[in-house]
Structure 1
Amino acid sequence: MLTSIIVLTLNNMDQTLRCLHSIRTFTDSPYELIFVDNGSTDGTVAWLAQQSDIRLIANPVNVGFAPACNQAAAIANGDHILLLNNDTIVSHRWLSVMLQCLHSSERIGIVGPKSNFVLPLQKIPADVSNEGQYHLFAQQFNRHNPALWQDLAALSGFCMLLRRSTWLALGGFDEAFGIGGYEDIDLGYRVLKAGLFLRLAGDAFVYHEGNRSFDSNAIDMYGVAAVNRRLFIRKWGFNPERLILRHDPAFLPDRYASPHPHHPPLSPDLPSGWYALADDGCVFRMERGLKRPVNSYDTFLRLKLSYDRIARCGNSFLQGLPSGQPLDAMNFPHGYPDVFLARDPGGGLHNVGNGIRYPIRNDSVLSQLGLRLDEAIPVSFEQIWSLPEGWPMQGNAWEEYELYDYLLYRGPNGGLYYGEGQRLRPIVWEQTLGRFGWSMDRAVIIPVELFNRVPIGFPIH
């Protein structure tokens, strides 16, 4: 079976030659080479055109990573498509090991390798500071071992292997992502939605220098990424960091969790994110159908709770709910709410959501979302830095961040809604607010454009 190896170039001829030499030397499965050049001016095009084993597409200008990859895939003859950055080096058995992973199941959509410069869940420490060390490392590392495979919710496009039939079924990269950034996360998520798996071939390692084309061609990588990240949030309704930075099994095929942005709700479940007071004085936080007891009065105080935010519930109601992990201020982060505002010892603010910290860069974010500084939970630097860091919250929080969970919203129609699982749940009666310890004066006005694109969930009675 033939693999079409697609390499994108934009200047950096030395990198391209190094990458090509490694492909020719170490690829141990049948392949064809397709290079797409996005407007190089350093002689790359002329040199590639002289290579008899390369099919070349030479764009006069930079059409972007996603369109260029789509161009190459459209002329590919292979049964597989392998996308490879030109700032990579491949080594012993790299392709055959990845192919074994791909063909271990028909339900595997995309395979990616381990690397030194890659998404956090694909990265491993390795002494590969020069090419010789890399090849010595890869000679031992790149050996078929299914025990090292892992299913993830995102794979980096720097080296990505999939069946050509999968690529065609999904329509390739979304060209709205343009120059580059998040098109690989978007493609991977569409694979998951199609019921296929993203599999990390933990028995393959490909060296990646990283960001060479952006840096040497004076492309504002951060600015491009910011635009494309907003595009991803608009398209899918949640932060891409939830796929990239944490292993959330609920995103994988055949899994379900509620409330969750990947899953439409099955029934009008009890809302999450509120507090209840039992007849005996015990306080519980309601999360995902579980009651989480507050383990002590010290935890109550350290988590900045107050009785005006707590609903009075009878024991008969609470006894019917299964128990979850207690809230415990001494157990960070597992003993904390799944969404909360944190303040570090230096006064820095962070939104912590689903195990990821998002630094808050300016006070306008607090006012937009109706978050209150006096409810920020104090944490140590060690605690907050132990969490993976997502995109900073600044400027227009409605555009830079997913719909904030567990807030009360007022829509353009005057109605009240509760944010949960990236959906708006209508509040049927104002009397409902007291049942859950909510107050109308905490309702945040949601922008019309955001209101119109957020799905409506089951009403709360």
Structure 2
Amino acid sequence: MSRDGHRALRQAVQRERAEAVRRSKIKSAERYEKGYQAGYEQGVMEGRRTFALPFEGTSIIIPTYNQKNLVLQCIASIEAHTELPYEIIVVDDGSTDGTSKALQKRRGAIRVGIHQQNLGFASAVNTGLMMAKGRTIVLLNNDVLVTERWLSQMLIALNSSSAAVVGPVTNYISGEQQINTSYSSLPEMEAFAAKYNASDSLKWRYTDRLVGFCLLFHRHVFEEVGYFDEGYEIGNFEDDDWILRLQLQGKRLMIAGDTFVHHIGSVTMKSLGEEGFAAVNDKNEHFFREKWGNFSELSQRMKEKDGGLRNRRSVDFFPTHIWVEGGSGKRFWLEHGVKYPLSGSLITGAVPNKTVRLSVIDLLQIPTGIQPSNIGFNYSGGARLREGMVVHTGNGRRYQLDRGQLREIASVYACRLWGLPMEPELITLEELKQYEEGTPIVPPPRLRSVEL
């Protein structure tokens, strides 16, 4: 065979081999795609099957934003010092420092929720709460290092007392949870904590305030109190807001004085700079005061009532005769603690353009009815004072009439947010005597995600 013939033969063999490699790659890609799709479908089926099944352990929720090293350090401390069953849920709130990739490379009981943009601490917490499966839940800042026996001892305090929420002591925080420490390095801190963390109920104490850097509670407490209010930007005051709502339900707070964790302290807020921090703090404080008005006075009066408020849920503080909706946009008429789905039997023309958004957690706690007795605020004819009417006594406070009770509305903000009439009728002192003081009406939390 000539040289040209040999060359042509080699080229033909090379082309055949290249074609065989190409066909092999195509088949491999097809097999991979088929396997991937089968695995994905199996995962979806398993996710749906186990979605509502609780986890017999603790869900540890860690919101984080652009603090990759801190959150990895926090996770490492959990893995080193947590002997009871747990799952870690890290919500990456729009980080740009590679946090999500670093988390996805880790192995272990870590689930990751990812926000495409920074939505703030409250939104990150809410995503974590939505994802949580544990019978108990911990909200943990990313700048906390947990220590020996931290979770087991806090669980003892939670399960052996009447507390609804338990928090530890630490080296750096505002309020009663800060204790004096003398260590100057992490090894010294761990040695200090190992000695300090000895279960001792004599060190437990009830309190009126817990800071949200580390909170432990049962799942049913979350379901009764609800999600964090996403009206607070970035951070600050959202934990105070949640704690206030919890206390209004008659639930108690406890400091587990026998359990110490290390807190680096406000890293995300400090990154805003002094002026940035002050601006965010002032804005959130203004929102808190607008939302709650003089509610501390009302709350104190409710505590002083015989028996106080006990065994309440967030839905018990909702008004009557209002329109509400879920994340899917489905609307309901809420009347006397029962929700009525919008249907042909209801007058759709009575539905306002904007209705109050409630979470799935709240809607599930409200029983569903078939036909309400009344729609809207039509007070013409009949008695002057009608069910659902908003009134005032000349003292600047608003009230709603609800089944023989006068229910104080926490603030003008609450009245506006619920869509209640903003120009109340004046009620006389004689008329006032006909009513008992009822459960107050408080504003619901603002929610962004349709999935909540």
TM-score, normalising length: structure 1:
0.53
User: Is residue 160 from structure 1 mapped to residue 196 from structure 2 by the alignment?
Assistant: no
Q: Which amino acid aligns with 2:122?
A: A
- Residue 265 of structure 2 is matched in structure 1 by 210
- Once the two structures are TM-superposed, the CA of residue 90 in structure 1 deviates from its matched residue by 0.8
Secondary structure at the counterpart of residue 186 of structure 1:
helix
- In structure 2, the CA distance between the partners of 1:148 and 1:458, relative to structure 1 (3 Å rule), is farther
CA distance in 2, matches of 1:217, 1:57: 24
Equivalent of residue 47 in structure 1, options 99, 102, 121: 102
Query: Deviation string for 1:73-122 (max 9, x for gaps)?
Result: 111111111011111111110011111111113x4211111112223111
Does 1:74 pair with 2:122? no
Secondary structure at 1:135 match in 2: helix
Q: 1:27 Cα shift? A: 1.0
For the structure 1 residues 115 and 80, does the alpha-carbon distance in structure 2 shift closer, same or farther, using more than 3 Å as the test?
same
The answer to whether the 8 Å contact 2:189/2:262 transfers is: yes
Residue pair 1:192, 1:251 contacting (<8 A) in 2 also:
no
Partner of 1:297: none
CA distance in 2, matches of 1:453, 1:133: 62
Deviations 1:340-367 (A, max 9, x none): xxxxxxxxxxxxxxxxxxxxxxxxxxxx
- Give unmatched runs, 5+ long, in structure 2: 1-55, 309-392, 399-411, 416-421, 430-452
1:268-289 alpha-carbon deviations (Å, 9 max, x no partner): xxxxxxxxxxxxxxxxxxxxxx
Work out whether residues 100 and 114 of structure 2, in 8 Å CA contact, stay in contact via their aligned partners in 1.
yes
Partner of 2:285: 229
Greater fraction of residues in helix: 2
Closer, same or farther in 2 for the Cα pair 1:254/1:51, shift >3 Å? Answer: farther
Indicate the SS of the match to 2:61.
strand
SS of corresponding position for 2:176: helix
Within 2, Cα distance between the matches of 1:231 and 1:198?
A: 24
Computing the radius of gyration over CA atoms, which structure comes out larger, 1 or 2?
Answer: 2
**Aligned partners of 2:157, 2:295: CA distance in 1, in Å?**
29
Offset of 1:216 from its aligned partner? Answer: 2.8
SS in 2 for 1:79: strand
- CA offset at residue 161 of structure 1? 0.7
CA distance in 2, matches of 1:114, 1:163: 20
Partner AA of 1:141 in structure 2: Y
1:119 aligns with 2:170: no
Answer with 212-221 or 75-84: which moved more: 212-221
Deviations 1:221-274 (A, max 9, x none): 22222122222222222488x99xxxx999699887xxxxxxxxxxxxxxxxxx
Q: Using the alignment, how far apart are the partners of 1:188 and 1:458 within structure 2?
A: 35
Query: In the alignment, residue 87 of structure 1 is paired with which amino acid?
Result: D
Tell me if the contact between 2:73 and 2:145 (Cα under 8 Å) persists in the aligned partners. yes
Cα distance in 2 for partners of 1:217, 1:76 equals 30
Q: Secondary structure at the match of 2:194?
A: helix
Give the C-alpha shift of residue 195 in structure 1.
Answer: 1.5
How far residue 52 of structure 1 moved from its aligned partner, in angstroms, is: 2.4
Give yes or no for contact 2:196–2:259 (8 Å, CA) kept in 1. yes
Change in CA separation of 1:193 and 1:14 when aligned onto 2, cut-off 3 Å: same
1:180 counterpart residue number: 235
Q: Distance in 1 between matches of 2:210 and 2:289?
A: 18
The 5-angstrom pairing of residues 25-424 of structure 1 reads 25-53=80-108, 54-105=110-161, 107-216=162-271, 220-238=276-294
Deviates more, 1:195-204 or 1:222-231: 222-231
The alpha-carbon deviation at position 201 of structure 1 amounts to 0.7
CA distance in 1, matches of 2:261, 2:304: 25
TM-score by length of 2: 0.54
Contact 1:12 1:216 in 2 (8 A): no
Alignment coverage as a number of residue pairs: 276
The 2-side partners of 1:457 and 1:124 are apart by 52
Quick one: which amino acid aligns to residue 156 of structure 1?
V
Query: Equivalent residue for 1:314?
Result: none
Deviations 1:280-317 (A, max 9, x none): xxxxxxxxxxxxxxxxxxxxxxxxxxxxxxxxxxxxxx
The Cα shift of 1:35 comes to: 0.5
Deviation digits for residues 355-402 of structure 1 (CA, Å, limit 9, x no counterpart):
xxxxxxxxxxxxxxxxxxxxxxxxxxxxxxxxxxxxxxxxxxxxxxxx
Instruction: Say whether 1:16 aligns with 2:50.
Output: no
What amino acid sits opposite 1:142 in the alignment?
Answer: N
Instruction: Please give the alpha-carbon distance, in whole angstroms, between the structure 1 residues aligned to 2:215 and 2:69.
Output: 22
Residues 27, 115 of structure 1: CA spacing in aligned structure 2 closer, same or farther, 3 A cutoff? Answer: same
In 2, distance between residues paired with 1:253 and 1:205? 36
C-alpha contact (below 8 Å) 1:67/1:178 kept by paired residues: no
Once residues 305 and 255 of structure 2 are traced to their aligned partners in structure 1, the CA distance between those partners, rounded to angstroms, is 15
CA gap 1:17/1:130 in 2 versus in 1, 3 angstroms: same
Percent sequence identity over matched residues? 36
Q: Which amino acid aligns with 2:117?
A: V
Report the RMSD for the aligned CA atoms in angstroms: 3.9
CA separation of 1:41 and 1:149: change in aligned 2, threshold 3 A: same
Change (3 A) 1:416 1:35: closer
Counterpart CA distance in 1 for 2:143 and 2:257 is 21
Is the CA contact 2:63–2:124 (under 8 Å) kept in the aligned structure 1?
yes
- Is the 2:68–2:102 contact (alpha carbons within 8 Å) kept by the matching residues of 1? no
